[in-house]
Amino acid sequence: MRDVRLIDISLYYYLKDSLESDGYTVHTKLSDEHVSSGIYLVDAYPDKTQYIKTPLIALDFTGISREPFQLGPGYTDYIDYDIYIFGRTKGERDDLGFLVLTYFDGAKIPIYDYNLYFASGGDLQLLGYIWPEITRLNVFETAPIHENIEFVNRLFVSSRLDVSSGYSLLH
C-alpha cells in the first residue's frame, strides 16, 4: 500500500486525459473567473464555503484496504474513492456520470511515478495498474433549507460514483 497518493494522481490524470481526448476543455482550478465552456476537474471534494463551478468532476479519496485471497497466500489491495459530479442541469449531470462510467468500464489504468516525473521532468515510470469497479451511482436530492439557495441548487443537480478499485504494483 505504498505511494497511494500516486494512484490518486494517476486516476486524476487518466480522467483528465480521457476528457481531453473526447474534445472537452478541462479546467483544473476553481478560480473566481467564470469559464463559459469546458469541465472543471479537481482532486478533492469542494469546500462547502467555496463556490462550486459547474460542470464539475471532483475526485475524493476515501480509504484503502487489503483483502486476503480465498485460495493460497497473498492479498489484493483496494483503493476506494468517490467521484462527485455537479452539473448545471440534471441532464448534464447524468451525461457526465455516464461518461465517467464508460471511461472506467473494463479499464486498466496505469499507475505512474509522478514524484519522479515532476522532480526531473523525464519520462513517466510505470509502477502498476488500477482496475476500477463502480459499485454505485448515487443521485443527490437535497431539500432547499440552506441559506445559500444557489449552493443547494448546485447540490440538487449532483451525483456521486462510489468506486472500489483493486490495484497491483510492478516489482
Does residue 150 have a pLDDT over 60? no
CA angle 39, 42, 47 (to 5 degrees): 115
- Mean pLDDT along residues 24-36: 75
Domain hosting 138: range is 4-169
| 108-140 pLDDT per residue, tens | 999 998 887 777 777 888 988 888 887 677 776
Task: Answer yes or no: are the C-beta atoms of 130 and 167 closer than 8 Å.
Answer: yes
pTM: 0.80
C-alpha cell of residue 37: 465552456
Number of structural domains (the chain) is 1
User: What is the chain's Cα-based Rg?
Assistant: 17
| Better pLDDT: 155 or 131 | 131
| 37-89 pLDDT per residue, tens | 789 898 876 665 456 777 889 888 888 887 777 777 777 788 888 888 888 77
CATH of the domain at 107: 3.30.2000.10
* pLDDT category of residue 143 using cuts at 50, 70 and 90: very low
Does residue 157 have a pLDDT over 60? yes
The beta-carbon contacts of 3-6 under 8 Å, at least 24 apart in sequence, are 3/113, 3/115, 3/127, 4/61, 4/64, 4/79, 6/111, 6/112, 6/113, 6/114, 6/115, 6/127
C-alpha cell of residue 157: 443537480
